[in-house]
Amino acid sequence: MNQTTNPFEERWPELEELYSQRGIQQLIAHIHQSDDTLERRALFLMASQRISRGQGLSRNLDDVIGICRAAIEEFSSQAAAETDPEERDRRLEGANILSYNLAADLAPCWPEDTEPRSAEHFEEGIRCAEDCLEWRNLLNKGALPFHMAWWALGAHRCGLGDWEGACEAFEKSLEAAQIDAQQNSTPTDVGPESSFLINVASGWLEFARWRCGDESSYDRFLEVIEAFKSRIERGGGGKDDAIIGIEQLETAALRMSGS
């Protein structure tokens, strides 16, 4: 999954032209024509990364889903066919990373990404997050990857207006963040000294509870914002993460109203 050592980098101009002129499905079909498993993985990985970033490309979220879903299925199908456990886990890790990245890209909380999300986009995000949870269990991942996968599931449940389901996912995300904090001997409650994981997981949970009708959660949501602001004012390590945390939560609050 190393983005800097793709052995087929010189093929990108060819793939870009095919995509620009004939569309995402023709690009996917072209990559599928290769009989070489490494080549298919590398080309799907490169195409999914470039199209997701969208730099210099006219693309939409449906195109992103199309190429990323093809890449995920390529990695996961190769994992299923592997007889060597180590190679199988490498392929599965590729599918896991690609799936999380797609879920994150589709989340409705990035201020610079104003493309409207549909129910189908959120359903795809839920599928990605649920796959991540399954694969991270198989790969024996630690608390941080589970925090991230549960967050993705909660964010897309928010998008569908499933606030109770979102609360359940964010509770799991916070539990994983607390395990990570305990392992790193850092605070497990909201505050300027707490990790980004603790603060952002708490913020999303209080946001979902607020949207469920718990008015007291709004005050706790604001406590998270203030904790991030305090971290920003101090400068140094954690400032950039705190800015991202505020942007996520405030964008979510602006874009997703309660039931």
Tens of pLDDT, residues 117-137:
999 999 999 999 999 999 999
What residues have CB less than 8 Å from 251, skipping those under 6 apart? 108, 109, 110, 111
With bands split at pLDDT 50, 70 and 90, how would you rate the model's confidence at 257?
A: confident
What residues have CB less than 8 Å from 93, skipping those under 6 apart? 1, 135, 139
With bands split at pLDDT 50, 70 and 90, how would you rate the model's confidence at 4?
A: low
Residue 255 · residue 211 · CB < 8 Å: no
- Output the CATH code of domain 147-252: 1.25.40
Instruction: Give per-residue burial for 187-208: e unless 16+ CB within 10 Å, then b.
Output: ebebbbebbbbbbbbbbbbbbb
Mean pLDDT of the chain: 95
Predicted pLDDT at 55 = 73
> Is the per-residue pLDDT at 2 higher than 50?
no
Domain boundaries, the chain: 8-141, 147-252
Q: Is 59 left (phi over 0), alpha (psi -120 to 50) or beta?
A: beta
pLDDT in tens, 181-202: 999 999 999 999 999 999 999 9
The answer to pTM > 0.85 is yes
Predicted pLDDT at 59 = 84
Predicted pLDDT at 259 = 58
> Is the per-residue pLDDT at 3 higher than 70?
no
pLDDT in tens, 80-96: 999 999 999 999 999 99
Residue 208 · residue 166 · CB < 8 Å: yes
pLDDT in tens, 19-68: 999 999 999 999 999 999 999 999 999 999 999 998 778 889 999 999 99
